[in-house]
Amino acid sequence: MRAGLLTRLPQAEWQDRERQHHERVARFAEPYLERRSHGARHPVEDFLFTYYTQKPGQLMRWHPGAAVVLTGPAALERVGWKYYATDDDGVRVDARRFAAERREAIDFARLILARTAARPAQFGCFGLHEWAMAYRSAVNGVRHEYLQLRLGADGTDGVVDSARIRCTHFDAFRFYTPEAVPLNEYAPTRRTQRDLEQPGCLHANMDLYKWAYKLTPLLPSEIVMDCFELSWRIRTMDMRASPYDLADWGYTPIAIETAEGKAEYVQLQRGFAEESQALRTRLLGLLDAALDTP
């Protein structure tokens, strides 16, 4: 988007987009909030609301992104929202203020997105990070204590002992049991995150949601939800390939301890890698355009 080019949305138009966003979020958030009110848990569907820092109420707020002016009386409600400012005939995101106050977050997100996009995807991990988190559970206990191990403790340990574990993602590696840490071919740290993340990694691809919401309200909510929904589907695959028995939740396992399971895992992993690369390109393009906003 060229600097100086602003789009003005009439109230009826932007409120319709806002309504559509609320409906899109509610499909995921309302069941989670209902479960939480009763103290119930779901191993797949709770993850994006409990692991990541953005809460359902924050996700529910619709933002048009930079370079969009919301017109009409209803827009004035946003004057009190962080990083919003009045325009000649409406309200819009104050992109300059966001860039000045969140420069470190912007630079890190751009670095991670660009470097990950530039690397070749690796498809040899077979989701063993989740197994490494449950390794030697007889000693360490099971991370998800309300779930049963599909192959039992000894069977889970056997899969890990016979595998080549090549996880490149720090935020998966940091949950390994102590006995599993030296079995990983890499030793990812927060400092080396920018050098190791690659587009075949399920967790790096789920994290597109994190980078998108950390750039809110600079980016439009539509792409935040595109990232959220991709992460939701990846989480489903991730847990199907995990050592846990999710039959009670209606999930069939991807048995990565078998040749057939490995093949299924890689096929799905490749598809998610392609989707994620397209989203990375969009995120970087939207970020650059937002930062060009006057």
* Residue 259 token pair: 């040749």
> Which of 249, 237, 238, 254 shows the shortest CA–CA distance to 146?
249
pLDDT at 35 exceeding the cut of 70? yes
Q: Does 2 map to a domain?
A: no
Q: Do the domain assignments include residue 275? A: yes
Q: What pLDDT digit, counting tens, does each position of 235-259 carry?
A: 999 999 999 999 999 999 999 999 9
CA distances from 77 to 20, 24, 181, 206 (A): 19, 22, 50, 32
- The Cα 176–Cα 42 span in angstroms is 21
User: Is 95 part of any domain?
Assistant: yes
Tell me if 186 is assigned to some domain: yes
- Answer whether residue 281 is part of any domain: yes
Report yes or no on 230 lying in a domain: yes
In a domain, 164, yes or no: yes
**Cα(172)–Cα(187) distance, rounded to whole angstroms?**
11
What SS3 string covers 137-196? HHHHCCCCCCCCECCHHHHHHHHHHCCCECCCCHHHHCCCCCCCHHHECCCCCCCCHHHH
CB 150 within 8 A of CB 243: yes
Number of folded domains that form the chain: 1
Q: Is the distance from CB of 285 to CB of 272 less than 8 angstroms?
A: no
| In the predicted structure, residue 30 carries a pLDDT above the cut 70 | yes
User: Domain range for residue 30?
Assistant: 7-291
Lowest-pLDDT range of 2-11, 49-58, 219-228, 258-267: 2-11
**Taking a C-beta distance cutoff of 8 angstroms, is the pair 245, 153 a contact?**
no
Amino acid 195: pLDDT: 95
pLDDT average, residue stretch 198-217: 97
282 contacts 222 by C-beta, under 8 angstroms: no
Per-residue pLDDT reduced to its tens digit, 140-186: 877 888 899 999 999 999 999 999 999 999 999 999 999 999 999 99
- Length, in residues, of the chain: 294
Give the pLDDT confidence of 114-138 residue by residue, as tens digits: 999 999 999 999 999 999 999 999 8
Instruction: For residue 281, name the pLDDT band (cuts at 50, 70, 90).
Output: very high
Residue 3 has pLDDT above 50, yes or no: no
- Tens-place pLDDT, residues 37-82: 999 999 999 999 999 999 999 999 999 999 999 999 999 999 999 9
**Confidence band of 292 (pLDDT split at 50, 70, 90):** confident
- The H or E element containing residue 68 is strand 68-71
Is 1 inside any structural domain? no
